[in-house]
Structure 1
Amino acid sequence: MRRRVFHRSIVAVGLSTAIPSLALAAEWDAATASSNFGIFALTDAQLAERKIIVTPIGDLELPTGEIIACDPLITGDDWPALSRRVKPGHYAVTLFEAQGRVAAAFLRFRPGVPVRWELATLPGQDVSALNGNEIFGYPVDAGLGSFMDKTAMGLMSAAQDKLKPDQNYYDDVLAAEFAPNQDRFVMHHPAAGNPVNIAMFWSGWGDGLYPTFWGLDATGEPLVLMTDFGVLDNADGREGGQAN
């Protein structure tokens, strides 16, 4: 049973926001937090057998290479980027969908199957300081997860500031963009004419605490960044498991 705990720090505008965690073993092993890393080695036929749909949703612009993973509607422009940076560029975002839900979202930097996984952390977070079954993740309270460059957060905050008092960003801006994709995902541009965008997507069964992981190659370079929303269990077929 995964125990959920909170580590508090000031990370959003004017708010004392919890940086949550999910359970993990005393000596941390990424496999204790997600049983789905092997999904990247599955063939199309194996994915189909497990009823996992792979859905590409577009390229994410990362002009700084500093990535924010969060619920885009409950954080502000003080939310920090992940500690590890990648080379600036544009990278493909893809969803794993199962049981009619977004089970995981990943950002692909280079081809290949990861050989090692590590927890994605924020500045000041130290995996070695976690006790018992804890693991860092991000809180979701609006039913959405996202990937974005750190510059995108400021652009969206500026767009939100332009709304009228009786408007909200989802209903008055995002809803029409989500609708063509059955409300599952959107590649949102917070500033018209600016290529910087935000990949937004359903967060599994909804609100909760969700960890993000770096999938690394043999030299320690990142191949993918994945957020696991807890819909799948043993999706790679280990011990005969598949979707929960």
Structure 2
Amino acid sequence: MLQSVGLAAAVVPSVALAASWDVTQASSNLGVFALSDAELAERRINVTPIGELELPTGEIIACDPLISGTEMPTLSRRVKPGHYPVSLLETQGRVAVAVLRFRLGTPVRWELATLPGQDVTTLKDDEIFGYPVDGGLGSFMDKTAMVLMSEQLDKLGADQNYYDDVLAAEFTPNQDRFVMHRPVAGNPLNIAMFWSGWGDGFYPSFWGLDAAGELLLLTTDFGVLEDADGREKK
């Protein structure tokens, strides 16, 4: 069993890690990005583009958007400010992997996404860093978007909640699977929100890099795929 470390302590099912901690052992699904369209189809994995994410500061938060707030730290790595496409890998009627793509290419090296103060060299063989999900959702956002959403949360009445009173109507057209949510109408700042696999849990994110060390993508694995395959095991 793989232990989670950091924002929350929980246990999530995964593969056993080798004696020397290896990021590729933390997920058996990183190879999915090397598959062709035909191979994805054979493995019953559908790719769903959901829109472009605005990152005016390049400081990214990956989290359950319903249990986090303005105190949520950004990931240690920053990207060039801009707007970048988000897509979902779906299988078995679930969102299996969320992908924030910075440039084209197939990653040849992977890093576990960490927060400031987290050091992968301190991880034990069966531990990971990641984020806890308690509301069934994951997300990517710029830190400034979190501030906007927190301000909107503060405006809700005592008998209201953000999902039921704000998000539900936006999720409905997409079968409740995802939304590119704008906390403030007319403001381009948005948040990519999506189902978190089978629901609540603790999920790791990874940076994919090319041979020159340039960032290609950020991805969160929700543990639906196994060995980059969406077909149910017999």
- The residue aligned with 2:8 is 18
- Structure 2 residue 73 is matched with structure 1 residue 77: no
State the alpha-carbon separation in 1 of the partners of residues 82 and 107 from structure 2.
20
| Aligned-residue offset at 1:87 | 0.1
| Aligned-residue offset at 1:21 | 7.4
Quick check: 1:63–1:149 contact (8 Å CA) kept in 2? yes
State the alpha-carbon separation in 2 of the partners of residues 21 and 118 from structure 1.
21
1:124–1:58 CA distance, 2 compared to 1 (3 A): same
TM-score, normalised relative to structure 2: 0.94
Quick check: 2:170–2:179 contact (8 Å CA) kept in 1? yes
- The residue aligned with 1:50 is 43
- Structure 2 residue 172 is matched with structure 1 residue 175: no
State the alpha-carbon separation in 1 of the partners of residues 17 and 64 from structure 2.
22
State the alpha-carbon separation in 2 of the partners of residues 26 and 191 from structure 1.
48
- The residue aligned with 2:54 is 61
Quick check: 2:178–2:193 contact (8 Å CA) kept in 1? yes
| SS of corresponding position for 1:204 | coil
- Structure 2 residue 114 is matched with structure 1 residue 159: no
- Letter of the structure 2 residue corresponding to residue 4 of structure 1: Q
Query: Superposition pairs for residues 103-122 of structure 1, below 5 Å?
Result: 103-122=96-115
Quick check: 2:5–2:128 contact (8 Å CA) kept in 1? no
* Percent identity between the two aligned chains: 73
State the alpha-carbon separation in 2 of the partners of residues 153 and 19 from structure 1.
23
| Aligned-residue offset at 1:5 | 3.9
| Aligned-residue offset at 1:242 | 4.8
| SS of corresponding position for 1:18 | coil
- The answer for unaligned runs of 5 or more in structure 2 is none
- Letter of the structure 2 residue corresponding to residue 64 of structure 1: T
Aligned with 1:31 (options 9, 15, 24) = 24
RMSD: 1.6
Quick check: 2:5–2:127 contact (8 Å CA) kept in 1? no
TM-score, normalised relative to structure 1: 0.90
| Aligned-residue offset at 1:4 | 2.2
| SS of corresponding position for 2:128 | coil
Quick check: 1:26–1:132 contact (8 Å CA) kept in 2? yes
**For 1:70-98, what per-residue CA distance to the aligned partner results, in whole angstroms no more than 9, with x for missing partners?**
00000111000000000000000000000
- The answer for unaligned runs of 5 or more in structure 1 is 8-16
Point out the more displaced range, 123-132 or 22-31.
Answer: 22-31
- Letter of the structure 2 residue corresponding to residue 131 of structure 1: K
1:88–1:142 CA distance, 2 compared to 1 (3 A): same
**For 1:98-121, what per-residue CA distance to the aligned partner results, in whole angstroms no more than 9, with x for missing partners?**
000000000000000000111000
| Aligned-residue offset at 1:219 | 1.2
| Aligned-residue offset at 1:18 | 2.1
- The residue aligned with 2:200 is 207
